[in-house]
Structure 1
Amino acid sequence: MNCKPLLAVALALALAACSKVTLENYGKLKMGQKYEEVTAIIGEPSHCDETLGVRSCAWGSEQQGITVNFFGGQVVLLSARNLK
């Protein structure tokens, strides 16, 4: 019996359970917070893009996650998708 698929599923579930991308942590984010304060709450982003001085960072996936826009190093816009 090949246990690799079962191990992969168990690892994925364990990682999902440890995610900081939650509704509770989203509630801790506030306008004006610095990037370092945000990453202390929800961890490092999946990716960031910068356009015209606005840095847009995303945590989680397109289906379930958090997006935060920073201007001058501070939060100016927050959004969330399907958090629990």
Structure 2
Amino acid sequence: MKKLLIIATLLSLAACSKVSQENYEKIKIGMDKADVETLLGSADNCVEKTLHTNCVWGDETKNIEITLVSDKVTLYSKHGLTK
């Protein structure tokens, strides 16, 4: 019984991932970083460059990568997302 509860909890957490095709489609050029974080949560990794910041939500198999300039979305891409 305890194993079933653990498995059900893990499956429900995996299903609740904010890194999804549905959320990817809500991202728009010019969107504020705060609005992206409301949608996706905190980024898993951000690298600040001279004029922009690259942030990634997710991992190497399934992710959303967004380039921000002055905390605004200027470019975004996805990897491993399906409908």
Report the TM-score when normalising by structure 1. 0.83
- In the alignment, what sits opposite 1:67? 65
> Which residues of structure 1 form unaligned runs of 5+?
none
CA RMSD in angstroms comes to 1.9
Determine if the alignment matches structure 1 residue 26 to structure 2 residue 27: no
Residues in 2 aligned to 1:8 and 1:55: alpha-carbon distance in whole angstroms: 38
Q: Which runs of 5+ in 2 are unaligned?
A: none
Identical positions, percent: 38
Q: TM-score, normalised by structure 2?
A: 0.84
**Counterpart in the other structure of 2:50:** 52
2:18 and 2:3 map into 1 onto residues whose CA distance is: 25
When the two structures are aligned, how many residues end up with a matched partner? 82
Structure 1 stretches of at least 4 aligned residues deviating more than 4 Å after TM superposition: 4-11
Q: 1:11 to 1:47 in 2, by over 3 A?
A: farther
